[in-house]
Structure formats: C-alpha cells, structure tokens
Amino acid sequence: MNLRTCAAVSSLSLLLFACSPPPVAVPDAGGDAAVALPDATVSDAPSSPDGSSAMDAAATVDSGGVCSFNRECPASDRCECSERDGCRCTPGARGTRTFGQPCASGNECASALCVEGPTGASLCSDECTTAAQCSGELPRCINVPIVGMFCARNPPDAGAMEAGAPRDASVTTEAGTCSGACETTALTGTFGMRTAMFDRAQHGIAGTDGIYIEAHFGGSPECPSMTSPTPDRTLVIANVRDTGDMRAQTYADGVRATLLDFRSTFTMTLPLRATDVRVTPRFVSRGTAVSYEFTATFPGGTITGTLFAPRCTSLDG
C-alpha cells in the first residue's frame, strides 16, 4: 500500500493511498527525507506484543475485500490500491522489501506499506501497536483513519515563532501556559481513501476580537509574505472570536473554513468550502499564540485534529 495518491500529487503529500506508483507520505501527520536502511532485515520489522512478527498473522480478508496490509489478504493476493476501488486484496506477487528499506510503492514492501521518511525519500513501514515496535527513521506509532496504526517518521520542526523563539518553547501569558500537547499542530484530512496532514499553523488579528488562522503543509515555516513559496495545501479558518470564556464556536456562530489544495491531494476544487466547522479553545492569547481542537466537514471529506498557531503580523487584517 502506498500513502501517496495515484494522481499527480507532490512528493511531499502525505497520502495514505496505495497505488503502484508513488509511496505513502506521512503525518509529519503529516515531508521529510529518508535515510534508507538497506541493511534492515525481517527481524527489524515491528513485532506484536507476544514477540512474533506482524507479518506472521493469518489472512483476515477474503480476495477482493478491503485491506490495509498484505497480511490481511490470502497468500495468493496482495493489498493493492486504485483510485476507483480503493485498497483491496488482489491476486499478485507481494513485495519483499522489509521495514526501513527504501521503496517507490507499497507493491515493493512485504507489508504493502510504503511511507515518506524524514528526508523525503520513502521507506517500507509496517503495522504497530506501540512506539516500542518502531525504530530508525520511522520511530513513531501513529493512528491514521482507514489505514490503522503504523510506524512513521517524526514530524518536522514547525519552525520558530515570528519573533524567532524556538517552536518547542512553551508559551506563558496572562491566559496561562501552553506547552506539550497544547503546543502541537496535528490536523488530518480524510477524503475517501486519501489521508494527509497539516503540520503547522499561524494566526493573525482580525478586528476587535477576531482571530484569523492558516494551517499548512509544505512551503516555508516562516510567516507568509508575497515571496513565500506556495505550500502543498492550506486550511483557512476565519471568523473565530476571542470570547474570553473558552467556549466552542461553530459554523452557526459564523466560523468558516476553506481548503486550498494546491497539489490536488484531496480535491481538484479550489477553493473548497466547509459545510460545518467546530473550534474548541485549548489556549487563547490573541496576538501571541492560540491553540484549538478543530473539526470541519467538507464535500467529500473531513479535517480534524489540533492546531497551535503563533502570531504572524503578516496575517493581521
């Protein structure tokens, strides 16, 4: 299986679509370059809690059935994906490359899962239940809708706050402290069989109490300017208010979300507007940083997760 779409999608896209061409790009979540591990062996593959290799599991899906990994299919089949049918058990030879080895598609991997590594190249991954079963360039065990739990790269450094403070420094203001989980952006878009991440966000001040937010994947982590490179995709969240009471705000309250999918990872419609939105504050210090739980419904899919957005004055309006 390949976490990149069969269509013409950028090398940074984080899709969980398994076709024969490109590989799976992962939430880094949701782009990172790979350090190939040509010496990886079957013993390096994630193991189940009882110590047995996940590759030893018996088939659980009949031929033609929906799958995520080769081991779910009959021995004569592999888990293969297409735009039309999604990922299904299909007659064909399975790949032989093991965990951590470079791949161009899921069909080259024994697991059927080819994901984007930390330098951009792609590596064979595998199913997991805990991070202890992951290693090397794919040390995280993440859970992605449709695919399930698998080993993935670490997220990239989201860059610095506008003033240059390290991204991993906690934010403390009169509104309290935002650190750890509060200071993370992990938004996942799921449109059919395509899943991809937004891994950084920024906010600007809008009017008396308004907050304008942009979440991105790809491009530059710096505050946007007229010369900034175009990201792979951008989520625009408008009409959020600093209400002071930390209540959730919804589409009915006027909150709007718009997807700009410049690489057609999810959709060829530009822009694509949400039909339902909900933002729940975790931390709000308008003008310094804001943090929300977020969910939005779009024609054909959803975007959900969390975002942490330091201020960029270039987004003020």
Mean pLDDT of 302-308: 94
Mean pLDDT (whole number) for 50-68: 67
For residues 158 and 263, the model is more confident at 263
Q: State percent of the chain over pLDDT 70.
A: 72
pLDDT at 171: 63
Tens digit of pLDDT for each residue in 113-125?
888 787 767 889 9
Average pLDDT over residues 49-55: 39
Name the residue ranges covered by the structural domains of the chain. 42-152, 171-315
Count CB-CB contacts under 10 A for residue 197: 29
* pLDDT for the residue 224: 83
What's the predicted TM-score (pTM) here? 0.51
Comparing 88 with 81, the larger pLDDT belongs to 88
Q: Which residue has the higher pLDDT, 50 or 98?
A: 98
Q: What is the mean pLDDT of residues 228-243?
A: 90
Give the pLDDT of residue 78: 92
pLDDT at residue 305, as a whole number: 94
pLDDT digits (tens, 9 = 90+) for 265-301: 898 888 899 999 999 999 999 889 999 999 999 999 9
Residue 205 scores a pLDDT above 90:
yes
Reported as a single tens digit per residue, the pLDDT across 129-150 is 988 999 999 998 877 655 678 8
- For the ranges 94-103, 148-157, 265-274, the lowest mean pLDDT is seen at 148-157
pLDDT at res. 237: 95
pLDDT of residue 52: 38
Residue 195: pLDDT band (50, 70, 90) is: confident
